[in-house]
C-alpha cells in the first residue's frame, strides 16, 4: 500500500532545504493550502443556484452573494492575515494591494504574496476549470520598517516559492520552492492535499500549442508563421500538432506541464504588452515551468529577469517545452 504523504507532511519534510528557515515559509504554504480548500468548496458548488444564487442575490444564509473571484480574494487574504506570516498581499482583485503588518500577529511577517485568486473566473459559469496562482517573495526592507516599492516590485528570480491550484475534475496544488516542482491532489474524503505528482518535469518537446487563434490577424508575423509551421509540420512528419486552448491559463499550463506543449499569449496590435499580468500570472508560472525543465520568455527576454515597473503590468508570454519555445523564438527572430 503506497504511503500517503500530505502537503503538510511534505512541507515539513522539505524544511531542511532551507537551513535558516524557522518554519515561517512552511506555515505560509500551509495557510495557502487551507484557503485553497475553502475556495475549492465554493467553486465546486458554483452554479447550484439554490445554494449560491447569482451575484447580488442573497444566498440561503441571507448573505449577499459575491462574485466567486471576490470571494476567493477574501478567503486567501483572510487566511494569510490569520496565518501571520505575510506582511503584504498584491492581488489581481486589489488595485493597491493589502498591507497586513498593522494586524498584530503579522507585524513581524517577512513574506509578500502576489496572487490571482481566481484566474479564468469567467469560465466558472460554463463549468471550465479555473485556478489560483500565487507567488511568494521575502521582503527586502527590515521588519518594523515601512514597506517600499523595492519590496513589492522584485524580479521573478527573487521568488522564494510559487504555485497554482487548479479547480478541475480533481483539485490540485502544484508548487515549487526552487527545488523542483511537486503536485498534490485534494482527497475530499480526508480534506488533505496528498502528494500525487512528485518531481514534475515538462517534456523537452511536445505537440500541443495553446494560443487564442481568434487574435491571429493581430499577432506578430513570427507567431503567425509558427502557427502555420505547426499545421504544416503535422503533414510532413505525420506527428499531429494539436491546438488546445481552454482560455484558463492554469488549465492550459497544467496540461502542457504534464503532456508537453507551448502556451503563447503574445502582444497584439490591440494589447501591445500582451494580456497576462507579470507579478501574479507570468512570474509564478515561469518559475514553475523553469523548475520543471521548461522555458519562459516574453519573446525578447526571460520572464523571470524582467524588472517590474508596476504591480499590475502585463507582459507577452511564451511558456512551456524548451524545444517548442525555442522554435517560436526562431520564427520571431526570422521575422
Enumerate binding residues for ligand P6P (CB under 6 A).
119-120, 122, 212, 247-249, 275
Query: Would you say 275 is a known binding-site residue?
Result: yes
Is 121 annotated to bind a ligand? Reply is yes
Please, which residues have CB within 8 angstroms of residue 111's CB and are 6 or more apart in sequence? 24, 25, 28, 85, 86, 87, 136, 137, 138, 139, 160
Which CB atom, from 86 or from 324, has the smaller least distance to ligand P6P? 324
Smallest distance, ligand P6P to C-beta of residue 213, A: 9
In the complex with ligand P6P, the residue whose CB is nearer, 9 or 271, is 271
Residue closer to ligand P6P by CB (options 64, 122) is 122
Distances (CA, A) of 205 to 140, 264, 326: 38, 15, 10
User: At its nearest, how many Å lie between ligand P6P and the CB of residue 188?
Assistant: 25
Distance CA 91, CA 135 (A): 10
Q: Is the separation of the CB atoms in 262 and 325 below 8 Å?
A: yes
Residue 191 CB contacts under 8 Å (≥ 6 apart), including other chains: 37
Distance between CA 273 and CA 253 in Å, rounded?
20
167 is in an annotated binding site: no
C-beta of 7 vs 279, nearer to ligand P6P: 279
Please state the closest distance from residue 318 (CB atom) to ligand P6P, in A. Answer: 13
Please check if 281 is assigned to a binding site. Answer: yes
Closer residue to ligand P6P in complex, CB, 207/314: 314
Flag whether 283 is marked binding: no
In the complex, minimum distance from the CB of residue 122 to ligand P6P, in angstroms, rounded to a whole number: 6
Report which of 221, 230, 218, 249 is spatially closest to residue 133, judged by C-alpha positions: 249
Tell the residue number behind the cell numbers 487548479, with chain if given: 166
Residue 125: what are its φ and ψ, rounded to 5°? -70, -15
Does the annotation place 119 within a ligand binding site? yes
Q: Which residues are annotated as a binding site?
A: 92, 116, 118-122, 212, 245, 275, 281
Q: Which residues are annotated as a binding site for substrate?
A: 119-122, 212, 245, 275
Amino acid at each position: 500500500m503506497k504511503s500517503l504523504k500530505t502537503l503538510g507532511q511534505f512541507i515539513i519534510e522539505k524544511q531542511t532545504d532551507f537551513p535558516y528557515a524557522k518554519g515561517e515559509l512552511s506555515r505560509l504554504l500551509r495557510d495557502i493550502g487551507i484557503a485553497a480548500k475553502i475556495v475549492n468548496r465554493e467553486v465546486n458548488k458554483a452554479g447550484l443556484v439554490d445554494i449560491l444564487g447569482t451575484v447580488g442575490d442573497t444566498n440561503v444564509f441571507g448573505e449577499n452573494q459575491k462574485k466567486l473571484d471576490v470571494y476567493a480574494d477574501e478567503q486567501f487574504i483572510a487566511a494569510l492575515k490569520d496565518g501571520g506570516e505575510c506582511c503584504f498581499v498584491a492581488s489581481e482583485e486589489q488595485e493597491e494591494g493589502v498591507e497586513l503588518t498593522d494586524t498584530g500577529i503579522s507585524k513581524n511577517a517577512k513574506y509578500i504574496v502576489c496572487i490571482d485568486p481566481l484566474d479564468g473566473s469567467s469560465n466558472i459559469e460554463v463549468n471550465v476549470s479555473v485556478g489560483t496562482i500565487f507567488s511568494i517573495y521575502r521582503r527586502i526592507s527590515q521588519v518594523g520598517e515601512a514597506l517600499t516599492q523595492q519590496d513589492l516590485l522584485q524580479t521573478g528570480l527573487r521568488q522564494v516559492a510559487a504555485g497554482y491550484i487548479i479547480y478541475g475534475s480533481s483539485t490540485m496544488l502544484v508548487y515549487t520552492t526552487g527545488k523542483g516542482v511537486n503536485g498534490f491532489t485534494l482527497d475530499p474524503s480526508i480534506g488533505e492535499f496528498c502528494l500525487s505528482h512528485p518531481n514534475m518535469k515538462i517534456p523537452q518537446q511536445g505537440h500541443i500549442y495553446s494560443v487564442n487563434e481568434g487574435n491571429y490577424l493581430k499577432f506578430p508575423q513570427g507567431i503567425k508563421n509558427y502557427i502555420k509551421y505547426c499545421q504544416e509540420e503535422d503533414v510532413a512528419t505525420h506527428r499531429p500538432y494539436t491546438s488546445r486552448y481552454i482560455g484558463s491559463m492554469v488549465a492550459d499550463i497544467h496540461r502542457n506541464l504534464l503532456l508537453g506543449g507551448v502556451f503563447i499569449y503574445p502582444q497584439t496590435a490591440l494589447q501591445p504588452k500582451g494580456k497576462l499580468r507579470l507579478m501574479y500570472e507570468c512570474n509564478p508560472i515561469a518559475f514553475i515551468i523553469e523548475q520543471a525543465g521548461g522555458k519562459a520568455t516574453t519573446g525578447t527576454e526571460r520572464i523571470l529577469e524582467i524588472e517590474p515597473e508596476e504591480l499590475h503590468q502585463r507582459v507577452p508570454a511564451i511558456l512551456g517545452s524548451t524545444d517548442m519555445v525555442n522554435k517560436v523564438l526562431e520564427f520571431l527572430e526570422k521575422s
